[in-house]
Amino acid sequence: MKEEMSSVDIRYIVRELQWLVGSRVDKVYHEGDEIRIKLHTKEGRADLILQAGKRFHLTSYVKEAPKEPSGFTMLLRKHLSGGFIDAIGQHQFDRIVKIRVGDYTLIGELFRSGNIVLVDSENRIISALRYEEYRDRAIKPNAEYIFPPARENPLEVSFERFLELMREEGDLELVRALARKLNMGGLYAEEISLRAGFEKTTPVKGLSDRDLLKVYEAMLGTFNDEPRPNIVFKDGNMHDVVPIELKVYGGLEKKYFSTFSEALDEYFGRITVEKARIEQTQKLEAKKKQLLMTLAKQEEMLKGFEKAMKENQELGDLIYANYPVVERLLGEFKRATEKLGWEEFKKRIEEGKKAGNRVALMVKEIDPKEKAVTVELEGREVKLHLDKSLGENAELYYENAKKFRHKYEGALKAYEDTRRKIEEIEKLIEEEMKKELNVRRIEGRKKKWFEKFRWFVSSEGFLVLAGKDANTNEILVKKHMDKNDLYCHADVYGAPHVVIKDGQKAGEKTIFEACQFAVSMSRAWSQALYSADAYWAYPEQVTKQAPSGEYLGKGAFMVYGKRNWLHGLPLKLAVGVVNYEGEDFILCAPPDAVKVHAKSYIVIRPGKLKKGELVKKIKAILEKWGYKVREEDLNAILPPGGGEIEEVAG
């Protein structure tokens, strides 16, 4: 299974991602060996992932950011955040990508263990994921960044040079010669051989110059082939992800994608999710494994104690069951050892066994130290101490049985305790598996045209739009305000332009809500005003024509003629989930508008809570209602500045 991108993959992804040039870097996140760059592009949000030694592409799989950003994170944010991507490139045909943002370049080394290096305009290293020293270069602060020694670039090599390289080691097989001499992996070397019409094992010395010309042309054709990104499956499992259709994978199951980035994201994203799932439970799994090993040992101990307890009990009973025999043996053996001594006694027993003496044959072991003789009774060996009575000998076995019973009971308690711990861990693992992963996927959804603005649906069902900044204010009035609309504006400097679509059919309720939206989304909110004034006018009254001697910047317009004022509008908004055009949206709008369209809502007003704290509180309430929402999305729809929650209905 593929684990990192090839030089060919990087060539195709770099070409595909050229549309990101001009995008603004919003924020940079770092964890482990990867960084994620959150971008604002002409298409909206995009997340670019760069993982050392592995991959480089847009991603919809977003890891939960670490609570404490690393020093590397802070440094990257310092130099890159707010900047614009000026160039994305590949160094030669190597597994190295370069992202230039203003005076800085982020270099991703995707070979071996890889690295991520930030350099300045003079190519001096500012920081890196890892500081390392090699024979020919060093990755350390203030050192000049030097690329690894270059290898042949198959896209730039001439046919004459290609021939020279191939002939250098003519004994090599074609696939090995291509892979070794021209900086390509075995997969593409095999693909080129196949496209050229030769077996990959063909010795190069057996190919003519004309044959090698076919190989050369097949190589250029392969690396310039039309993209057809796909994931290749073997036996139902992901095997590879490639940017073009490969003959070597003919007959295998494939899943095609419109972009190579989507294919890479699906492939590596699924691996990331699986890895995150394993990481989420691996500590608990390790503890469970350890407990299972303990449990197995305890089971063996229990079996041993149970067996010993049973055997000792039975041997004690056996002594009493053979009372006359044991009593006689004890007496005879005791008199014999006292009269003859232990050595002579042993000798007499051995002679008796040879002679076939029945009593001697019963003896299995003699232990002078313990003054004991082990005899066989009913097929079982019983140790008899000659200095003890029959009852005392039986009692020894009963005492041993009692000791093993206590050990068994203690071991059983420990065994049950271990089983309980395993059950508890299994429940915890089950709970962890149910928990949301720290890797979530941002579902791709084509945004509605009105989502580039602040917006809501009035209580009477009219679409109301407002600018977010100078650029969207300009677009809203110039491109989206029609003659049948109404224009609204707060009597606050820098307030957003507000347009009621088809507003000339709207009632007073909608006009009130639109004007309330205008004042609430202005800086009057951050100034914690209780109320403010706004007015409405007709589209033809709004123009870019400035008074003589004045200039109107981007997003600024003049309103001529009568202004229809609404005074003392309360600064108050509500957050709720509203269904519009078949989709659910979390909106922040005038309370009356939200109450009509949402079952549950949260009313807010200007207040002392910082915006971040207000966002967290609203997010928590929405999650209780079953709505998952990102803090950054809530932050985008709320008015500027802090606030307070006045009412929660739901």
Question: Could you report the per-residue pLDDT of 236-273, keeping only the tens digit for each?
Answer: 999 999 999 999 999 999 999 999 999 999 999 888 77
Q: What is the largest CA-CA distance in the chain?
A: 142
> Distance between CA atoms of 25 and 102, rounded to whole angstroms?
11
C-alpha distances (whole Å) from 446 to each of 43, 45, 451, 453 are: 10, 12, 10, 15
> Distance between CA atoms of 117 and 109, rounded to whole angstroms?
8
**What is the per-residue pLDDT for 66?**
76
pLDDT per position as a tens digit, 95-150:
999 999 999 999 999 988 899 999 999 999 999 999 999 888 999 999 999 999 88
Q: How many residues does the chain have?
A: 650
> Distance between CA atoms of 210 and 203, rounded to whole angstroms?
15
- Residue with more model confidence, 211 or 436: 211
The Cα angle at residue 387 between residues 382 and 389, in degrees rounded to 5: 70
Calculate the average pLDDT of the chain: 92
pTM over 0.85: no
- Residue with more model confidence, 582 or 406: 406
Q: Does the structure show a pLDDT above 60 at 445? A: no
> Distance between CA atoms of 574 and 564, rounded to whole angstroms?
25
C-alpha distances (whole Å) from 191 to each of 154, 195, 223, 247 are: 14, 6, 11, 6
Please give the DSSP secondary-structure letter assigned to residue 53: T
Q: Does the structure show a pLDDT above 90 at 554? A: no
Q: Nearest to residue 408, comparing CAs of 312, 293, 314?
A: 312
**What is the per-residue pLDDT for 435?**
60
Q: Does the structure show a pLDDT above 80 at 274? A: no
Q: With bands split at pLDDT 50, 70 and 90, how would you rate the model's confidence at 446?
A: low
The DSSP secondary structure of 471-536, one letter per residue, reads HHHHHHHHHH--TTSEEEEESSTTPPPEEETTGGG--HHHHHHHHHHHHHTSHHHHTT-SEEEEEE
> Which positions ≥6 away from 145 have C-beta within 8 Å?
107, 117, 119, 123, 124, 125, 139
With b meaning 16 or more CB within 10 Å and e meaning fewer, what string describes 19-50?
Answer: ebeebebbbbbbeebbbbbbbebeeeebbbbb
Residue 506, number of CB atoms within 10 A of its CB: 21
> Which positions ≥6 away from 79 have C-beta within 8 Å?
101, 104, 118, 126
C-alpha distances (whole Å) from 162 to each of 182, 200, 216, 544, 607 are: 9, 17, 7, 63, 72
Say which residue the tokens 């995150």 belong to.
276
> Distance between CA atoms of 69 and 65, rounded to whole angstroms?
8
Mean pLDDT across the stretch 465-485? 93
Q: What percent of the chain has pLDDT above 90?
A: 79
C-alpha R_g of the chain? 42
The DSSP secondary structure of 403-426, one letter per residue, reads HHHHHHHHHHHHHHHHHHHHHHHH
Mean pLDDT across the stretch 281-297? 90
Q: With bands split at pLDDT 50, 70 and 90, how would you rate the model's confidence at 549?
A: confident
Mean pLDDT across the stretch 452-476? 94
Q: With bands split at pLDDT 50, 70 and 90, how would you rate the model's confidence at 314?
A: very high
SS3 110: coil
**What is the per-residue pLDDT for 436?**
53
Q: With bands split at pLDDT 50, 70 and 90, how would you rate the model's confidence at 336?
A: very high
pLDDT per position as a tens digit, 44-74:
789 999 999 999 999 988 777 777 889 999 9
Q: Say if residues 637 and 588 touch (Cβ distance below 8 Å).
A: yes
Mean pLDDT across the stretch 403-417? 95
Say which residue the tokens 């003789």 belong to.
373
Q: Residue type for 505, please?
A: K
Q: Say if residues 386 and 373 touch (Cβ distance below 8 Å).
A: yes
> Distance between CA atoms of 400 and 406, rounded to whole angstroms?
10
SS3 119: strand
Mean pLDDT across the stretch 307-314? 96
Handedness of CA 499, 502, 505, 509 (dihedral sign): negative
Q: With bands split at pLDDT 50, 70 and 90, how would you rate the model's confidence at 280?
A: low
118 pairs with which residues across the strands? 106, 127
Q: Nearest to residue 29, comparing CAs of 87, 59, 74?
A: 74
Q: Residue type for 115, please?
A: N
Q: Does the structure show a pLDDT above 80 at 393? A: yes
**What is the per-residue pLDDT for 601?**
96
Tokens representing residue 405 in the block: 């019973």
Q: Nearest to residue 322, comparing CAs of 387, 233, 390?
A: 390
Q: Nearest to residue 76, comparing CAs of 34, 13, 17, 20?
A: 34
Q: Say if residues 536 and 514 touch (Cβ distance below 8 Å).
A: yes
Handedness of CA 50, 52, 56, 61 (dihedral sign): negative
488 pairs with which residues across the strands? 498, 536
Q: Does the structure show a pLDDT above 90 at 565? A: yes
Q: With bands split at pLDDT 50, 70 and 90, how would you rate the model's confidence at 3?
A: confident
